[in-house]
Amino acid sequence: MATKTIKLEIPFQKLISIVDKLDPDEKLILKKKLEKQKITTWQERFGKALQHLGKKNIRFSEKEVSEDIRKAIAEVRTGAGAKN
């Protein structure tokens, strides 16, 4: 199935009525697409970033990373890391 991206401006209620007419498989595809784009909290994004970084930086020990984090937090809290 060939696809083409187009930009439409339609009223939200019209969009809802169109979605209501989709068959269950099409609704599932739409749901998966929307979930990929869902807005997450900063905590969720931070957690995902840590997981990603953890996988890429396995050569550093947990102790070393914990110490770096502790130092970074201390710098931010004391203003030592602030640039004037």
Residue 47: predicted pLDDT: 84
Tokens of 10: 């339609």
Residue 3: predicted pLDDT: 81
CA 84: distance to chain centroid? 32
Residue 81: predicted pLDDT: 52
Please state whether the predicted TM-score (pTM) of the whole model is above 0.85: no
Residue 84: predicted pLDDT: 47
Q: Which residues of the chain have pLDDT under 70?
A: 1, 80-84
Residue 83: predicted pLDDT: 56
Tokens of 68: 């770096």
CA separation for the pair 52, 58 (Å, rounded): 11
Q: What is the DSSP letter of 8?
A: -
